[in-house]
Amino acid sequence: MFSYLALPLTGAFVMVDWVPQKYRWILMSSPSSEAVEMIRGGQFGFYAHAHYDITYTIAVNFILTIIGLHLTMTVKKYITIQ
């Protein structure tokens, strides 16, 4: 349900350039929106002005991966494979 409600923040339906300057930070705080903007920048080149920060995307995804690995190792002792 959370993914469904967060769908407008992914940037799949709206380019960040279309949003007014003072509200862009809302879309830019989502790593998925940054990834969609990177794809747009690569696909359309100079025809679409893409806004993204690759260091922010890498940092957030790295932190989320570390959290996910930690949670997996924590839950590992409760899982039995049959």
pLDDT of residue 77: 87
DSSP 28-65: HT-HHHHHHHHHHHHHHGGGS-----HHHHHHHHHHHH
Integer Cα distance of 65 and 82 in angstroms: 27
The pTM assigned to this predicted structure is 0.73
User: One digit per residue, pLDDT tens: the chain, 82 residues?
Assistant: 787 888 877 878 888 888 899 988 888 888 888 888 888 888 888 888 888 889 999 999 999 999 999 999 999 888 888 7
